Amino acid sequence: MQLADKHIIHMDQDAFFVSVEIKKDNRLAGKAVIIGGLSDRGVVSSCSYEARKFGVHSAMPMRMARQLCPHAIFVKGSMDDYSNYSHQITELLQERVPVLEKASIDEHYIDMTGMDRFFGCMKFAQELRKSIHDQIGLPISFGLSINKTVSKIVTNECKPNGEMEISKPEVQPFLNPLSIKKIPGLGDSTFIKLSEMGVRKIHTLTQIPPDLMFKILGQNGLSLWQKANGIDLSPVVPYREQKSIGKQTTFDSDSMDVAGIKVMLTDMVTKLAFELRQQHKLTACVTVTIRYANFETVTQQAKIPYTSLDSLLIAKAKELFDKVYQKRMLLRLVGVKLSHLVGGYEQISLYGPSEKMYNLYQRMDKIRNLYGTDAVRLATVFPDK
């Protein structure tokens, strides 16, 4: 199939967390709203477009946000609410589209390739957007174009609350005048390096020979050159709600040692949380499984706010274990599974764990990357001497 035959929709919620807060309290509409940790040590998780005009952006220290926009309304936020609305949007889309990829908590890719013979893809995307607005009550923008990269850029250019289609002949005229900052995956250090070379517009980047880009920035340079030229062959990966990671342990001998079993559970969850962070993923569902000595198997699961933090997942796993282990019989197996996975990064300011604790997780992960997953472990997973 030729590249020109692709029809990819990128849908992205407009300031998602803020939009949810406005739905809960419409007095926030049109105001400068900043969501995140309310202490000076917190960080901004999201902000309204009115706040962005003052230079506020996600991941900014809250202290700086207060200085830039002191009149803003500061909200702690609720990941339970954001996760719930994210699930609603995903379920609505899954019911109506042929191929759906959930890229993060607030954005989706839809592959409509081949469906244009039945109905116009732009008209279909408009109907989807209207359904989300009417049924869920949240604003959303979308871009429709020939691949994921161009569609994402199109969406970003028509936000907030916009829609746009860029056909194959229009791709390069659309991309050329834009700043290279608009290219997904182009970080600050790469932007500085290219700017120092005089490359600030996408058109200029397209004029650099690809072998030179490879020489300057390696494989990433070649990838950026392709994106600048409207080339992206990456497929829309179907989203499966049941996608999961898990671990289980069968005991050497059947046991009723609840304290010891919870230590095993803690160790398994810690390793799974590390795996999540390595894959830049978050989970929204924890399942605990036990098997009694008579081989009866019982499970208990719970949906949670999207997270990859050990402390939250361990606490939920232990809570589920207490609920599922009711017969006080000997056990032969315990397992834990994390599912409803999406790509994304921790919004630490919304959860409660301190910035200091999150920094500790990052340091532990670095040690594991260097010396293996067992190089650093929680004290609670070691048996008493």
Under 8 Å between Cβ of 14 and 161:
yes
- pLDDT at res. 78: 81
The band of 363, judged by pLDDT with boundaries at 50, 70 and 90, is low
Residue 33 has pLDDT above 80, yes or no: yes
Q: How far apart are CA 107 and CA 90, in angstroms?
A: 9
* Strand, helix or coil for residue 25: coil
Q: How far apart are CA 334 and CA 106, in angstroms?
A: 34
- Six-digit token pair at 379? 């004290």
* Strand, helix or coil for residue 149: helix
The band of 378, judged by pLDDT with boundaries at 50, 70 and 90, is low
Mean pLDDT of 314-323: 95
- pLDDT at res. 384: 45
Question: What share of the chain in percent tops pLDDT 90?
Answer: 59
Q: Which residue has the higher pLDDT, 368 or 301?
A: 301
Pairing of β 281-292 and β 331-339: antiparallel
- pLDDT at res. 311: 86
Pairing of β 73-75 and β 44-47: unpaired
Q: How far apart are CA 127 and CA 117, in angstroms?
A: 17
Kindly tell me the sign of the dihedral angle through the C-alpha atoms of 274, 278, 281, 287: negative
The band of 382, judged by pLDDT with boundaries at 50, 70 and 90, is very low
- pLDDT at res. 100: 93
The band of 213, judged by pLDDT with boundaries at 50, 70 and 90, is very high
Pairing of β 297-307 and β 281-292: antiparallel
Which positions are annotated as active-site residues? 107
Q: Which residue has the higher pLDDT, 382 or 326?
A: 326
278-307 tens-digit pLDDT: 877 889 899 999 999 998 999 999 998 888
Q: How far apart are CA 1 and CA 231, in angstroms?
A: 14
80-130 tens-digit pLDDT: 788 889 989 999 998 899 899 988 889 999 999 887 776 789 999 999 999
Q: How far apart are CA 156 and CA 125, in angstroms?
A: 16
The three-state DSSP-derived secondary structure of 305-363 is EEECCHHHHHHHHHHHHHHHCCCCCCEEEEEEEEECCEECCCCHHHCCCCHHHHHHHHH
Question: What share of the chain in percent tops pLDDT 70?
Answer: 86
Mean pLDDT of 54-61: 89
The mean predicted confidence, pLDDT, of the chain is 87
Using the structure block, give the residue that is written with the tokens 């997953």: 373
Residue 76 has pLDDT above 70, yes or no: yes
Under 8 Å between Cβ of 1 and 134:
no
* Strand, helix or coil for residue 219: helix
The band of 364, judged by pLDDT with boundaries at 50, 70 and 90, is low
220-278 tens-digit pLDDT: 999 999 999 999 999 998 876 547 899 999 888 899 999 999 999 999 999 999 888 88
